[in-house]
Chains A and B, each alone.
Chain A
Amino acid sequence: DQQVKQNSPSLSVQEGRISILNCDYTNSMFDYFLWYKKYPAEGPTFLISISSIKDKNEDGRFTVFLNKSAKHLSLHIVPSQPGDSAVYFCAASAGAQKLVFGQGTRLTINP
């Protein structure tokens, strides 16, 4: 039973436009949500996170939105740059326990 789902395996966006990556979860006990970015042959690196008591967190070009009623979060990247091309993983935790990851979305930024 997968608790964190990223239903889009891939996404292609033109450079300079907005990239929107989506994530759904089922466990209402999750209290922290994170996005990780992964380049080929490297480990995931932390990008941005949000607590369940907030609905938005922004860091430069990256913004994460959380809709608790819909159990949905999204990552917005504006403007998208070629270096943003990577696999993005959504992750969640409940009470500082282990992270539960989604399947990842491969983002490709086209020049």
Chain B
Amino acid sequence: EAGVTQFPSHSVIEKGQTVTLRCDPISGHDNLYWYRRVMGKEIKFLLHFVKESKQDESGMPNNRFLAERTGGTYSTLKVQPAELEDSGVYFCASSRLGQFTGANVLTFGAGSRLTVL
């Protein structure tokens, strides 16, 4: 089966601009997560979708970040306007509904590296 696909793989933008990251989860995976890793730090949870609904968005840094998952398939994460501290690698992960018990494997994408200048 195809893995979790993210694009762009790398985006370089200037402060104040807008960027949209996209994640295509594994087909049939209703759970979709966004995580972010700022250089050298921990991988931090941003939010969790179950199908098209936001189950937990407690990790979203502020209202400059907007995540959507229309139709419960792919998801987008928009940053508007981008700030310097938004630089990092944004990971998407997915799993089947009811499967994530903490012991199960989340399948991660390769990440989208965002550089804000």
Contacts and interface: CB of A to CB of B under 8 A. Distances in A.
Judged by DSSP, the binding face of A is loop
A9 B23 CA distance: 29
A98 B110 contact: no
A96 B42 contact: no
A43 interface: yes
B44 interface: yes
Contacts, number: 60
Interface of B: 4, 9, 33, 35, 40-45, 48, 56, 59, 91, 93, 100-103, 105-111
Interface of A: 2, 4, 9, 31-32, 34, 36, 41-46, 49, 51, 89, 91, 93-104
23 contacts: A4-B42, A31-B102, A32-B101, A32-B103, A41-B9, A43-B93, A43-B107, A43-B109, A44-B43, A44-B108, A45-B108, A46-B106, A49-B103, A89-B42, A95-B102, A96-B100, A97-B56, A98-B56, A98-B59, A99-B45, A100-B45, A101-B42, A103-B40
